[in-house]
Amino acid sequence: MKSRVLVIGAGLAGVEASNFLSQRNIEVVLIECKRVKLNPAQKINSFAELVCTNSLKSKDPNSAHGLLKTEMKTLGSLVLAKAQESSVPAGDALAVDRDQFSKLITESIEDNNLISVINEEVSDPLAIAEKHSCQHIIIATGPLTTDSLSAWIQAEVSGEDFYFYDAIAPVVDADSLDLSKLYFKDRHKPVTETADYLNAPMTEDEYYRFVEALVEAEKVKPKDFEEEKFFEACLPIDLMAERGKDTPRFSCMKPIGLEQDEENPPFAVVQLRKENLLGSSFNLVGFQTRLKYPEQLRVFRMIPGFENAQFNHLGSVHRNSFLNARKVLNWDMSTQKFPQIHFAGQITGVEGYTESAASGLYVAYQVYKKILDKTFSQFPVESALGALVNYIMTNNRPAPSNINFGLIPPVALSKEQRRDRRNRKKVKKRLASERGQKIFREFIQNEGII
Ligand SMILES: Cc1cc2nc3c(=O)[nH]c(=O)nc-3n(C[C@H](O)[C@H](O)[C@H](O)COP(=O)(O)OP(=O)(O)OC[C@H]3O[C@@H](n4cnc5c(N)ncnc54)[C@H](O)[C@@H]3O)c2cc1C
C-alpha cells in the first residue's frame, strides 16, 4: 500500500518535513491551524512564520550554525532555499524579509500536488491520521502548541513537565527614530552608511537610568499554574537587568567593536537590526521583554534617538512547550508509546528557527527510511544534526539548545596549533566544521537513501 504521512503544523519543521517527503514521492496531509486560530506570537496567516527576530544566524561555514546549514542543504532544505531568495543584508548572518520568506514557502507548499493542506486545529493526532488514512504522523506544532493538542500530548506522551518561557523582542518603525543620535556600524567593522546594524549609544548616566527603569517597570505576571523557566540564551532584557546592573552591557548592550569615535567610546549600545531590505523597521537585538506594553513605550523611549519611537510590535513573553526527549522519544524521534507518531522541531527540545527546520528534515529522513523498510542509523555526532539529536537524547536535565560547538566532540589540535594562542579557537572551529562536513557527506553517501 502507498504510504501517506500526516504532518501537523506548517511551521519551520513541518514545512521542511512535508517538502522532504513530497520530493521523494510520498503523499503528505499537512494540517495547520493558524488560519482558523492565530496564537499570540503569530501575525500573518502564511506558513513558516518567524515570530521574533528575522535572523537564521550565521552563514559562516566555520561556525556551528554554518555547519548545520551545509547539512540542511545536503538534505534539500526548502527553508534555506527560500531564506536565500528573501535575504536582507546582515553581515555574516542569514537574515530575511520575514513576510517574503513566509510567502515564498507557503506558495511552494500550496503549489505542491503531493501535499494536501488542511486548515484546522488537531486535538487527537491518532483520530486525524485514521480519518486521512495516514500510516505515519509527524507532530511539528512548535513551542506554542495549542491547548487541546498539548492536553493530548500530556495525557498520552509526556506527562507533566511540558513547558517553559520564551520572549519576543520589539520592532521599531525607522521613520520614528531620531537618526542624528544613531549611527550605522557592524561590530568590529568601520562606521559606514551601508552597515547592516544601526546603533543607539548610551553614556554611563543614560545606561544606569535605563537599567533602573527596566528593573522598576511593571512586568506581565505568569499565570498561577505557570512557573517561569527561561532559556538562558534568550533571557528578557528586564530579567538581565534584575540579575545585575551591568549584566545587559556585558550581553546584548555590549559596546565593544561598536565605537563611532575611538576617543569617546559609548558605555553601552542598543543594536538595531533591519527587519526588511528597505530598512523601514528595526528589531531591537536581544530586547525580548516581560514589560507591560505601556511600560515598554515609556522605558524604550528613554533610549537616545527613541524619544518619539513608534513600534510595529512590542515585546512579549510566551509559554514554550517541549518534551523531555530522553524520557519519551526514540532516537528517530518516534514516541516510545506510539511508534508511528514522531515529533519534530522545537517541541523535541532543540532551540531556534534553523535548528527546528533541521529537525524537520531529520525526522522526515527517518520516516522515509521507515517507509522504505530500512533500519535506523544514528547520524554521526561530529555532524551538527547528529550532535543536536545526541544532545536532546542524552541530556539529563532537558533545556532547549541551539547548535553550538559545545555539543560536538572537540578536534585534537597539534602542538603547534595549541601554542598559537591567538588563533587556536578559530582553528579548532574550522577543523571541527571541516571534519563534520566530511563525515556527514560520507554518512549520507553510505546510507544511499537520498
Ligand atoms: C515567542 C517566541 C520567540 C522566539 N524567537 C526566536 C528567535 O528570535 N530566534 C530563533 O531562532 N528562535 C526563536 N524562537 C524559537 C523557535 O525557533 C521558533 O518558535 C520556531 O518557529 C520553532 O519552529 P517549529 O517548526 O518547531 O514550530 P513553529 O514554527 O511554531 O510551527 C508550529 C506550527 O504548528 C501550528 N500548530 C500549533 N498547534 C497546532 C494544532 N493543534 N493543530 C494544527 N496546527 C498547530 C502553529 O500554528 C504553527 O504554525 C522563538 C519561540 C517563541 C515561542
Q: How many whole angstroms separate alpha carbon 143 and alpha carbon 346?
A: 6
**183 and 299: one domain?**
yes
**131 and 91: one domain?**
yes
Does the beta carbon of 34 sit less than 6 angstroms from any atom of ligand 1? yes
Average pLDDT over residues 276-288: 86
Does the beta carbon of 145 sit less than 6 angstroms from any atom of ligand 1? yes
Does the beta carbon of 403 sit less than 6 angstroms from any atom of ligand 1? no
Phi, psi of 263 (to 5 degrees): -70, -30
Written as nine digits, the cell of 286 is 536581544
**254 and 379: one domain?**
no
What digits encode the pLDDT tens for the residues 293-330? 999 999 999 999 999 999 988 888 777 899 999 999 99
The pTM of the full predicted model, rounded to 2 decimals, is 0.79
Q: State the pLDDT at residue 225.
A: 45
CB 371 within 8 A of CB 334: no
Q: State the pLDDT at residue 414.
A: 93
**123 and 265: one domain?**
no
**253 and 369: one domain?**
no
Mutate which of 7, 12, 78 for ligand 1? The one with the most ligand atoms within 8 Å of its CB, which is 12
Considering 271, 293, 319, which residue would you say is the last residue of a domain? 319
Q: Which amino acid is at 106?
A: T
Q: Which one, of 98, 89, 97, lies nearest residue 43 by Cα?
A: 98
- CATH at 425: 3.50.50.60
Q: Reduced to 3 states, what is the DSSP secondary structure of residue 317?
A: strand
Reported confidence tier of residue 4, pLDDT bands at 50, 70, 90: very high
Tell me, in angstroms, the distance from the centre of ligand 1 to residue 74's CA: 24
**8 and 50: one domain?**
yes
**334 and 290: one domain?**
no
**10 and 153: one domain?**
yes
Does the beta carbon of 286 sit less than 6 angstroms from any atom of ligand 1? no
Range of the domain at 202: 167-319
CB 168 within 8 A of CB 53: no
Considering 319, 353, 376, which residue would you say is the last residue of a domain? 319
**49 and 94: one domain?**
yes
Q: State the pLDDT at residue 121.
A: 98
Average pLDDT over residues 216-235: 73
Considering 302, 319, 336, which residue would you say is the last residue of a domain? 319
Task: Please state whether beta strands 197-202 and 268-274 pair in parallel, antiparallel, or not at all (unpaired).
Answer: antiparallel
**49 and 123: one domain?**
yes
**200 and 246: one domain?**
yes
The count of domains in the chain is 2
Does the beta carbon of 16 sit less than 6 angstroms from any atom of ligand 1? no
The answer on pLDDT for 270 being more than 90 is yes
- CATH at 260: 2.40.30.260
What digits encode the pLDDT tens for the residues 176-193? 999 999 999 999 988 888
| Residues ≥6 apart with Cβ < 8 Å to 215 | 238, 241, 242, 245
Does the beta carbon of 93 sit less than 6 angstroms from any atom of ligand 1? no
Mutate which of 51, 148, 359 for ligand 1? The one with the most ligand atoms within 8 Å of its CB, which is 51
CB 196 within 8 A of CB 89: yes
Burial class (CB in 10 A: 0-12, 13-18, 19+), 377: middle
Atom of ligand 1 nearest to the CA of 9: 34
Q: How many whole angstroms separate alpha carbon 181 and alpha carbon 6?
A: 52
| Residues ≥6 apart with Cβ < 8 Å to 348 | 322, 323, 325, 329, 333, 359, 392
Q: State the pLDDT at residue 165.
A: 66
**188 and 222: one domain?**
yes
Q: State the pLDDT at residue 279.
A: 81
Ligand 1 atom 6 nearest Cα: 52
